[in-house]
């Protein structure tokens, strides 16, 4: 994250990744989840989560798992399996496209799970049209 001071009244905050933005915006909620004795799963199609951000957010780095370089079809399947396992406090997934079939799969898995799911859109990647 870097802060660009344009004028004394205007401050522009830029985040390196959507994960950093989520950590900053949802810090109280993530800290609450951190108290549970479950994993905290972060998924993306590229490396996006830095240990320094985890430390800054006050999360237990021993509980945080970041799986990177997942292809879209593996990402949906991994989210679904994580929700079904009920071993995670929450799952954060960086995803730019969710078709109706995938959305229904995730909704079904969520109904049977006590896990929270954050789907994060990554504006920094090229948008793919399907």
Query: pLDDT tens digits for 23-40?
Result: 988 999 999 999 999 999
CATH architecture group of domain 16-120: 3-Layer(aba) Sandwich (3.40)
Which segment of 36-45, 107-116, 120-129 scores lowest on mean pLDDT? 120-129
What phi and psi values does residue 122 have, to the nearest 5 degrees? -100, 100
Q: Which of 33, 38, 49, 14 is nearest to 120 (CA)?
A: 49
Distance CA 49, CA 39 (A): 15
Evaluate whether 75 touches 93 at the Cβ level (below 8 Å): yes
CA of residue 18 relative to chain centroid, distance: 8
Distance CA 27, CA 4 (A): 22
Evaluate whether 34 touches 89 at the Cβ level (below 8 Å): yes
Which segment of 52-66, 96-110, 114-128 scores lowest on mean pLDDT? 114-128
Distance CA 107, CA 83 (A): 10
Give domain limits for the chain: 16-120
Dig out the tokens for 49 from the structure.
């989560």
Which segment of 44-48, 51-55, 116-120, 125-129 scores lowest on mean pLDDT? 125-129
Q: What is the pTM of this model?
A: 0.81
56 C-beta neighbours (distance < 10 Å), count: 14
């Amino acid at each position: 994250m870097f802060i660009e001071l344009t004028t004394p009244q205007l401050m522009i905050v830029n985040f390196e990744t959507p994960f950093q933005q989520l950590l900053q915006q949802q810090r109280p909620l993530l800290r609450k989840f951190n108290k549970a004795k479950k994993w905290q799963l972060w998924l993306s199609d590229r490396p996006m989560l830095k240990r320094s951000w985890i430390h800054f957010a006050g999360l237990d780095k021993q509980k945080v798992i970041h799986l990177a370089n997942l292809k879209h079809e593996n990402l949906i399947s991994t989210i679904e399996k994580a929700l079904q396992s009920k071993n995670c406090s929450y799952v954060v997934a960086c995803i730019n496209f969710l078709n109706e079939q995938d959305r229904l799969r995730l909704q079904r898995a969520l109904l049977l799970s006590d896990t929270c799911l954050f789907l994060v859109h990554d504006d920094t990647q090229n948008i793919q049209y399907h």
